[in-house]
């Protein structure tokens, strides 16, 4: 069995150190060396708030430069529209037919998974690794509870020994920041110096890029 391919998908608008810390903590927990940050091609259920795809890609590239364990995975941006995770994972599986494929997602995405296009097919192509998020104890849909019961694993070994089909709940720490909060702060404080709070969550290179290109104002 080949080394697992592990990706973390998102709009990354902007990418922040909460993304980085959470996915690398999960990677440590499941024994994975590298994680691809995979920007979405404007998913149907989200907006990019006027930020062009080229800017999101540039910020992902800058974020990946902060760790040798990160790399940009841009496969979804090359696929025909409409953009759906199941189509992206199928393309990644076609690209890596003999390697386990791991898709990391936040707990908020997991709780809303039944609203995704062909959500029940995701584990045909990959394993799911779920990160903890501040989800306000939202109820889990019966279909997801059944899926977790049938395909859940408390050991990370199946993520390496099987190509797909498992669900693993990582014991990562909560990251008290979101892209939405950062966009709101950057918009409100566009003409003031960046404060330490934002600097704690966005890399210097990404902050410089945001300021230079006047994003989120």
Check whether 195 has a pLDDT greater than 80: no
The DSSP code sequence of 113-170 is GGGSTTGGGHHHH-EEEEEP---TTPPPPHHHHHHHHHHB-S-SHHHHHSSS--EEE-
Q: What residues contact 95, with CB distance under 8 A and at least 6 apart?
A: 75
Q: Mind listing the pLDDT tens digit for each residue in 114-139?
A: 999 999 999 999 999 999 765 556 78
Instruction: Determine phi and psi for 169, rounding to 5 degrees.
Output: -100, 110
- Tracing tokens 């395909």 back to the chain, one arrives at 151
Q: What residues contact 73, with CB distance under 8 A and at least 6 apart?
A: 7, 36, 37, 38
pLDDT at residue 196 in the model: 44
Q: Mind listing the pLDDT tens digit for each residue in 7-39?
A: 999 889 988 888 888 899 999 999 999 999 999
Please give the CATH topology (third level) of the domain spanning 5-174.
Rossmann fold (3.40.50)
Q: Mind listing the pLDDT tens digit for each residue in 75-86?
A: 999 999 888 999
Gap between the Cα atoms of 130 and 102, Å rounded: 10
Q: What residues contact 36, with CB distance under 8 A and at least 6 apart?
A: 5, 6, 7, 8, 70, 71, 72, 73
Gap between the Cα atoms of 169 and 185, Å rounded: 31
Gap between the Cα atoms of 122 and 147, Å rounded: 11
183, 49 contact by CB (below 8 A): yes
Helix (H, G, I), strand (E, B) or coil at 104: strand
Q: Mind listing the pLDDT tens digit for each residue in 45-83?
A: 455 566 889 999 999 999 999 999 999 999 999 999 888
């Amino acid at each position: 069995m080949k080394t697992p391919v592990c990706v973390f998908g998102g709009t990354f608008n902007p990418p922040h150190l909460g993304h980085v810390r959470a996915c690398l903590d999960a990677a440590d927990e499941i024994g994975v060396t590298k994680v691809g940050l995979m920007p979405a091609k404007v998913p149907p259920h989200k907006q990019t708030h006027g930020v062009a795809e080229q800017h999101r890609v540039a910020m992902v590239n800058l974020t990946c430069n902060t760790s040798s364990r990160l790399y940009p995975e841009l496969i979804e941006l090359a696929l025909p529209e409409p953009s759906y995770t199941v189509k992206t994972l199928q393309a990644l599986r076609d690209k890596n037919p003999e390697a386990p494929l791991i898709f990391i997602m936040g707990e908020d995405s997991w709780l809303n998974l039944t609203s995704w296009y062909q959500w029940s097919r995701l584990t045909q192509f990959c394993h799911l690794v779920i990160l903890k998020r501040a989800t306000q104890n939202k109820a889990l849909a019966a279909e997801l509870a059944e899926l977790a019961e049938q395909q859940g694993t408390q050991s990370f070994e199946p993520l390496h020994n099987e190509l797909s089909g498992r669900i693993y709940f990582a014991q990562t720490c909560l990251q008290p920041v979101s892209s939405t909060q950062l966009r709101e702060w950057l918009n409100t404080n566009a003409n003031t110096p960046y404060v330490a709070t934002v600097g704690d969550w966005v890399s210097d290179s990404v902050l410089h890029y945001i300021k230079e290109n006047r994003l989120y104002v």
